[in-house]
Amino acid sequence: MARERGNVSEAAEQDAPQTSLHQRILDDIRGKIVSGELAPGARIPFEHELTAAYSCSRMTVNKALSQLAKAGLIERRRRSGSFVTRPRSQAAVLEIHDIKTEVEALGLPYGFALTERRRRKATRDDRERLGLAEGGQVLELACRHMAGGRAFCL
């Protein structure tokens, strides 16, 4: 029988999935970026600061930061540090697939909600851009893209 230690049994601790330290560092920083706690342009703590905070090797921190850079969440600058990048989802609104791919690259579940749907008369600009005849109509859609249950892009 497993002994109780605090509120968690030793057996439960052994059965719980273990998250590697570099993954925990990556998840912590990614969470702060996605939540907005670390805004675009904000400096990520230096590697030596993270090694002290997580009591780990520089190589472990480097692995986490490299994965964040590969996902496009941070930019690493030699001798200056690592900085949160500006979101790349500045693309056309209809490129939903690209936003979904970006969210999934962050390791977060993607979702979206249709927030507005209306039919309206096409403006002159609409007619020129879309090749519509005078009196044509446009279906206007607005949706909220979600990353991990939080608003990501409108």
> Residue 89: which pLDDT band, with cuts at 50, 70 and 90?
low
Give pLDDT, residue 8: 42
Assigned domain for 90 exists: no
For residue 8, give both structure tokens. 């968690």
Query: What's the mean per-residue pLDDT of the chain?
Result: 82
Residue 46 belongs to a domain with what CATH number? 1.10.10.10
Assigned domain for 89 exists: no
Give pLDDT, residue 137: 92
Number of structural domains, the chain? Answer: 2
69 shares its domain with 22: yes
114 shares its domain with 75: no
Give yes or no for residue 119 having a pLDDT over 90.
yes
Range(s) of the domain holding residue 112: 96-153
Q: What's the average model confidence in pLDDT over 21-47? A: 91
> Rounded to two decimals, what is the model's pTM?
0.49
Assigned domain for 64 exists: yes
